[in-house]
Amino acid sequence: MSSRLIPVMLLAALALPALARADAVADLRARLDRLQATQPLTATVKVSSTVRDEDGKTSQAQLEISVASGGDGLRIGFSPALLQRASREAAANAKNKDAPTPIEDLLGKLSPVNVQPMVDYAPVLRRQLDGVTLAGQRDEVRDGKPTHLLVFDVPLPASASKQMTIKHYTGQIMVWTGADGVPVAVRNVMDVKGRKLLISIELGTTTDYRLAVVGTRLVVLSRRTEETHSVFGKAGSSVTAATMVPLPATPGA
Number of domains composing the chain? 1
Provide the pLDDT for residue 1: 52
Query: Is 54 inside a domain boundary?
Result: yes
Is the separation of the CB atoms in 122 and 35 below 8 Å? yes
Query: Is 93 inside a domain boundary?
Result: yes
Conformational region of residue 112, where left means phi above 0, alpha means psi within -120 to 50, and beta covers everything else: alpha
Alpha carbons 237 and 192: distance in angstroms, whole number: 15
Query: Is 65 inside a domain boundary?
Result: yes
Provide the pLDDT for residue 6: 52
Q: How many CB atoms lie within 10 A of CB 121?
A: 23
- pTM of the predicted model as reported, rounded to 2 decimal places: 0.85
Provide the pLDDT for residue 159: 77
Query: Is 123 inside a domain boundary?
Result: yes
What residue ranges of the chain have pLDDT lower than 70?
1-22, 250-253
Q: Which candidate, 186, 177, 232, 210, places its Cα nearest to that of 54?
A: 232
Give me the domain span that covers residue 71.
Answer: 25-246
Query: Is 78 inside a domain boundary?
Result: yes
Query: Is 5 inside a domain boundary?
Result: no
Alpha carbons 174 and 183: distance in angstroms, whole number: 10
